[in-house]
Structure 1
Amino acid sequence: MKPKYIHKKFVDRCKEAGIPRSSYPFNTDTLGYRALCRYLENLRDIHFGKAASRFGHDAEQKAKNSGIGQQNYPLNITPYQKVEFDGHRIDGIFVITVKTLEGDDAVLTLDRLWLLSFTDRATRNVIGRPHICLNKEYNASDVMIAAKKAIIPLKKKNLTIDGLSYQPTGGYPSEQFSEIEWAVWDVIYFDNAKSHLAQMVRERLSNLIGCTTCIGAVDRPMRRSFIERFHNTFTASSIQRMVNTTGSHPKDPRRKDPEKMAIRYEMTFEHLEEIVDVVISNYNGTPHGALFYNSPLEVLEQRLKKGMKPRLLNESKRTEFLFTQVEQPRTIRGSISSGKRPYIEYMGVEYRNELLVKSAHLIGTKVNVHINVDDLRTIRVFLPDGSEFGELVAAGKWSLTPHTLQMRKTINLLKKNKLIHFTQWDDPIFVYHEYLIAKETEKKKGSGNRIAKVQQVIRQAEEESNSPNQNKLLAQEHKNLAELDKARELQEKIQVQKTSTSTKRYKTITY
């Protein structure tokens, strides 16, 4: 309530109390307005927290939970000892280019994307290349992909945008200092988002990386001030300066039809990846006021020279498969009476290898299965005694194209609802991709993001290196499928020839 309204009520109450006109406040020029304003200002200063609530929820939270009492955590100077993680909505619209069913090029807009990144509290470095999530909300798998990118050593991208370049002083920690390749952290701070609390995230962080998780209090982003500040700096210095920005709110004057601008200038998802990589790489090499105008990389170099080296991930765990791995119990199925060879079923698909099909004695055995939710083409099986049985490959065309657990669930649901159909000769991922393109012509919201997700998964699988055994299994399965395709084509040709011969032989003559 404004002071002038409070003053009006004050004057009304004075009249109701019967105060004569010759007494205060009626005997002053302003009827006591100035004195009332001084009283309200004094009251505001005494009750700082309640007064801050008049300016919004964020101001109220900061007033109640920061700047008072003793700091409850000591100063941290050791690199990678404590890191912060969070997701941030990218304030911009981008597009992808796809081939339609008719063979034409089509430009599709994407919904707003997520930027997932890690920052080091001691040096302010952004550790590792951030992960750009295409889902409407990022999930546990996205969190672990971001963690994988923060740990695995990086190399600079080949830039395709004219005029875009890396600063000589910039880069990522693992790229600039070889002695901290595969460096991991001891404590990670994040908020109470559902994806952060997932069992997969907490189990992988504890057993694989060996760190402690610190879940912040609800609705208190100031507990992770470094990552919040970085996201604000990143957005203000890059995305919000582009013509396709959505601005910070719907009425932001910088928002000038971002969808139209993104299509007009063909600002693709690949361009966004390059821009994010360059901006953050340069950020690590830019002087920082909180670091006495040293850059984060310069501070890291000084700390490393003083012997403050972070812990490195154990060599036995340095495989990309482990970051997005979940464990589930499964039973080996099969039947000698019906001639069904042993197999393991997962999410509607059978998995086998040459050893399993010859192990009928294992039918009915309960085993532990390790699943990479980012690529379901293969799974790893462990027997009840803990020994590794080997990797199994998905049956049929499911082994051709990389796909995630989320994509498998979506395809199975679409097939169950009879929205898509595929046989054993069809690639389910290709059928799903065609379905999404067809839906995009109907302007279904989110179709562009799902198409881009399929393309991203395939591209990442090509860039990442699989285990030699996995490559061998997939190559053998692809060879078998190719031979089956040739046999089917030959059979179809023979059938066509028989049909034409039969037609000629029994041709009916009409008069």
Structure 2
Amino acid sequence: MVLTWRARLRYEPEWYEFERWPFVDSQSMPAEQRRQYLTNVRIVAAVLDGRALKLVAADHNVSPARVTQLMNRCLAGDEDAPPALTQGLIPYQRVGPDKRRAALGTLTQPSGARCGFRYLLEVVPGLEDHLLAQIRGATRRNRRGQNLTPRRFHASFITYLNTLDWPKDTYPFTTVSRGSEACRRFLKRTLMDLQMPRDHPRVIGSKMTPVRGFQEIHIDEAHVDCKGAAAVVLHDQMSPVRLGRISLLLARDVGTGCYLAGTIALSAHPNSADVLALLEQLIQPWEPMVLTAPGLSYGAEAGFPSALDETFCRPAFGIVRLDNALAHLSHQVRRMVCDHLGATANFGLPKNPKARALIEQAFRRLNIDIHRFPSTTGSHPTDPLREPAKLQKAPPFVSLRALEEVISVLLTEYNLSPLANLGAVTPLEQMQYQMMNHLLPLRAGTLGPGLGPYQRSQTVTVRKGFKADAPRVNFEGCQYTGVALNDGRLINQRVTIVFDIRDIRTLQVTTPEGRPLGAVTAPHTWMRFAHSVSLRKRINHLVRENVFSARDPLGDWFQYTMAHRHLPKEALTLVRLEKLMPNEDRLPMEQSIDPPTPKETNPALADALNRLPDWNPDMAKKRR
């Protein structure tokens, strides 16, 4: 999600303090550039201090639009990417890659040709591959290639567009040069890249393999190579549905090879909340699942290390290695790893899974047993074990609950398997031995006041409600009210709200100085069950698209998901939604596809019902 500068300050209020911004040495700049840089610094510092944009613009003899542009240059951008901050204050400094956002202009509606060539490479099918193939043929001196010149390369570019019947009233046919300069620069840049010497690929890993427990942790997620089923009971009728693929998040210790935690994400694409749930399991005592599948049971001492002792729940972690997934790069995951776990977050190099070979080996070992199910998706599209096409329309035989239980049992049983590299000692025994005989450091029990792993803070303004005695704060499209705001001195004043990203029905309100005021709640239409920020945004989007009304958004969202339960992805969403509902409103959804047993009836009640005579038209005549 792209944030404006105001949204960035709401989500990350620490940037209000200009002293926290990175330092830039202005003495290394030319005099004219230094003068403009210092002016930009004074403008941004005045805006962060709370002054109005018009007053700041008048003091520095610039327009308000220029002030907004400067703030967006420093703070706007993608939510998961760090802002430019001080780099955006340097004149003529490029803070992001050029990208065309508007559609290409036409003769009747011109919109400029900036980044038009790059836009064509992304939109026109096969254009970039066609141009790169010609450049590679010329570089490798292929017998089917040609000696390219900028003019010949541009002619090939135009010929390819004519072959695809590209509109003649659209770029590049609307310009005099027809994109010749962009073609020349693309040719020159690509030739330089292809002619550079290439080093042999190598795996960059740590020089010394860790041997101490909790010294290095590998974390990753992968799709479970199997699909499950669930049974939806609606109007006393059971309807089995096929579910989409789920994901497994796993944490493994490198020194002992022990599995530390594992969690299931009911989605093909885990988000930061799922990663936080895995990290939370590292410091919480492990509890076994209640096994319902027949023939399935835990070993005598099977489990994760956190179930052994209280000391295993607060070790001092060294390095936590993750890949470059967006869920790992979020600020909340970094804060959880660095601040709460006291570890070092290492995201490694892109496209280098061999640096975390231990966690990849764990997924391959798990697939050996998962591929035994007939509903497996296999390791690749041509895997002979893959579920045949004739069975892919019907619900699988294995239920989602049974699949989760199997994964839990397999992960805990591995910790009891003797390993050759440990001298025929199990990973769990090695972990216990090191904790008893080695000086493994422990974390402090409490970190003092501060935001929790799932908490965020945001600064909002208290507004006067539609009633004189109902002040409110606006958050994610809803008006929150409560006793905490029933003070006339808070009207039009800034307050700080703290919320849990998993459940935003209730917000905790504090003053900017940190004095707690109390809690505020969402409207009754949003109080039916817990929902996250992402779910609220998706529901509001569907309301704006007129998919359903805003009177009962959570109820309509449930009905919308029920209507699309024949789709595996929506069926998985329905299972995830069912886990959020309270017990009294929970959907009767079974995790097994066995038919329900008939309910027991009262014999006296059944005898009384049998004595009632059947209805006939004469009964209506007698009543008249």
Assess same fold via TM > 0.5: yes
Q: After superposition, where does 1:149-298 map in structure 2 within 5 Å?
A: 149-183=281-315, 185-236=317-368, 238-257=369-388, 260=391, 266-298=397-429
Q: In structure 2, how many angstroms separate the alpha carbons of the residues matched to 1:404 and 1:187?
A: 30
Q: In structure 2, how many angstroms separate the alpha carbons of the residues matched to 1:414 and 1:328?
A: 25
1:324 to 454, 462, 485: 454
Q: In structure 2, how many angstroms separate the alpha carbons of the residues matched to 1:253 and 1:364?
A: 66
| Residue 355 in structure 1 maps to residue 478 in structure 2 | no
Per the alignment, residue 21 of structure 1 pairs with none
| Residue 389 in structure 1 maps to residue 517 in structure 2 | yes
> Which amino acid is 2:263 matched to?
H
Per the alignment, residue 341 of structure 1 pairs with 470
**Once the 2 structures are TM-superposed, how far is the Cα of residue 405 of structure 1 from its aligned partner?**
1.7
Per the alignment, residue 190 of structure 2 pairs with none
Distance 1:183 1:377, change over 3 A: farther
Q: In structure 2, how many angstroms separate the alpha carbons of the residues matched to 1:260 and 1:453?
A: 25
Q: In structure 2, how many angstroms separate the alpha carbons of the residues matched to 1:62 and 1:125?
A: 36
Tell me, which stretches of 5 or more residues in structure 1 are unaligned? 1-60, 463-511
Contact 2:229 2:396 in 1 (8 A): no
> Which amino acid is 1:326 matched to?
R
Contact 1:377 1:400 in 2 (8 A): no
> Which amino acid is 1:341 matched to?
A
2:233 to 99, 103, 110: 99
Contact 1:78 1:308 in 2 (8 A): no
Q: After superposition, where does 1:125-140 map in structure 2 within 5 Å?
A: 125-128=258-261, 130-140=262-272
1:439 to 564, 569, 577: 564
Structure 2 SS opposite 1:392: strand
1:429 to 546, 554, 570: 554
Distance 1:388 1:313, change over 3 A: farther
Contact 1:98 1:106 in 2 (8 A): yes
| Residue 454 in structure 1 maps to residue 577 in structure 2 | yes
Q: In structure 2, how many angstroms separate the alpha carbons of the residues matched to 1:318 and 1:299?
A: 36
Distance 1:169 1:445, change over 3 A: closer
Q: In structure 2, how many angstroms separate the alpha carbons of the residues matched to 1:205 and 1:72?
A: 20
Per the alignment, residue 209 of structure 2 pairs with 75
CA RMSD of aligned residues (A): 3.0
Structure 1 SS opposite 2:520: strand
Distance 1:274 1:227, change over 3 A: same
Per the alignment, residue 65 of structure 1 pairs with 202
**Once the 2 structures are TM-superposed, how far is the Cα of residue 166 of structure 1 from its aligned partner?**
0.6
2:255 to 122, 126, 136: 122
Contact 2:247 2:270 in 1 (8 A): yes
Contact 2:462 2:473 in 1 (8 A): yes
Q: In structure 1, how many angstroms separate the alpha carbons of the residues matched to 2:583 and 2:341?
A: 22
> Which amino acid is 2:555 matched to?
F
Distance 1:89 1:388, change over 3 A: same
Q: In structure 1, how many angstroms separate the alpha carbons of the residues matched to 2:518 and 2:318?
A: 32
| Residue 376 in structure 1 maps to residue 504 in structure 2 | yes
Contact 1:328 1:368 in 2 (8 A): yes
> Which amino acid is 1:268 matched to?
S
| Residue 367 in structure 1 maps to residue 499 in structure 2 | no
**Once the 2 structures are TM-superposed, how far is the Cα of residue 274 of structure 1 from its aligned partner?**
1.1
Contact 1:244 1:262 in 2 (8 A): no
Structure 2 SS opposite 1:117: strand
After superposition, the C-alpha distances for 1:136-194 in whole angstroms (9 at most, x for unaligned) are 31121221122122322121111101110111132110112332224452321011111
After superposition, the C-alpha distances for 1:382-408 in whole angstroms (9 at most, x for unaligned) are 321123333332221322311122211
| Residue 300 in structure 1 maps to residue 431 in structure 2 | yes
Contact 1:95 1:262 in 2 (8 A): no
1:87 to 209, 217, 221: 221
Q: In structure 2, how many angstroms separate the alpha carbons of the residues matched to 1:461 and 1:187?
A: 44
Distance 1:264 1:431, change over 3 A: closer
Q: Structure 1 stretches (4+) deviating beyond 6 angstroms? A: 459-462
Structure 1 SS opposite 2:471: strand
| Percentage of matched positions with identical amino acids | 24
Structure 2 SS opposite 1:200: helix
Distance 1:391 1:207, change over 3 A: farther
Distance 1:347 1:333, change over 3 A: same
**Once the 2 structures are TM-superposed, how far is the Cα of residue 318 of structure 1 from its aligned partner?**
11
Contact 1:288 1:296 in 2 (8 A): yes
Distance 1:121 1:387, change over 3 A: farther
How many residues align? The count is 388
More helix by share: 1
Q: In structure 1, how many angstroms separate the alpha carbons of the residues matched to 2:390 and 2:419?
A: 34
TM-score (norm 2): 0.58
> Which amino acid is 1:203 matched to?
R
Tell me, which stretches of 5 or more residues in structure 2 are unaligned? 1-197, 586-624
**Once the 2 structures are TM-superposed, how far is the Cα of residue 418 of structure 1 from its aligned partner?**
1.2
Distance 1:125 1:429, change over 3 A: farther
Q: In structure 1, how many angstroms separate the alpha carbons of the residues matched to 2:287 and 2:464?
A: 47
Q: In structure 2, how many angstroms separate the alpha carbons of the residues matched to 1:317 and 1:397?
A: 36
After superposition, the C-alpha distances for 1:444-503 in whole angstroms (9 at most, x for unaligned) are 4621121122123347999xxxxxxxxxxxxxxxxxxxxxxxxxxxxxxxxxxxxxxxxx
Distance 1:74 1:381, change over 3 A: farther
After superposition, the C-alpha distances for 1:110-131 in whole angstroms (9 at most, x for unaligned) are 2211111111111111112x22
**Once the 2 structures are TM-superposed, how far is the Cα of residue 79 of structure 1 from its aligned partner?**
1.9
TM-score (norm 1): 0.70
